[in-house]
Amino acid sequence: MLTASGSSMKAFFIDLLNRFLAAVPVERNIALTILVTFAALIVIIVVIGLLQPKKPKAKAKRRSRYISTKVKQIVWERDHGKCVICGSRVDLEYDHEIPWSKGGSNSENNIRLLCRKCNRAKSAKIE
Ligand SMILES: [Zn+2]
């Protein structure tokens, strides 16, 4: 009968343990110690396994407004190192043409060189 009520399961395991201990040609308490040590080791291994932090998926694509050096280089060369609106060469900033907050990408297609003045003027218009 395999209907495993709690007590019959326990009796089964005690019986199994007794058979094991009878079969092992060492003193009962030594065999028990070894058994308990193994059980403890298994428990420790399982617990350590469960406690391992789950590895984050390799570079989850989190949106970041970071513009790569490569893109900056491409944009700088394309825009000839000056503001695309007024042509100023001072206080230049890399601007997201479609604002990053509105889903604009960090690719060179969406980045341009603006001077601070034009960039502020643009921000004011959007807000
Ligand atoms: Zn400008």
Cβ(6)–Cβ(13) under 8 Å? Answer: no
Least trusted range by pLDDT, from 24-38, 46-60, 96-110: 46-60
Give the three-class secondary structure for 93.
strand
Q: Which CATH class is domain 69-126?
A: alpha beta
Alpha-carbon radius of gyration of the chain: 35
DSSP 102-123: GT--SSTTTEEEEEHHHHHHHH
Residue 91 DSSP label: S
Distance 121 CA to ligand 1 centre (A): 9
Least trusted range by pLDDT, from 15-29, 66-80, 92-106: 15-29
pTM for this model (two decimals): 0.50
Distance 45 CA to ligand 1 centre (A): 63
CB proximity list for 26: less than 8 A, separation 6 or greater: none
Distance 64 CA to ligand 1 centre (A): 25
Distance of alpha carbon 120 from alpha carbon 124, whole angstroms: 6
Distance 127 CA to ligand 1 centre (A): 19
CA nearest to 94, candidates 107, 127, 64, 124: 107
Tens digit of each residue's pLDDT (9 = 90 or more) over 73-93: 999 999 999 999 999 999 999
Distance 52 CA to ligand 1 centre (A): 53
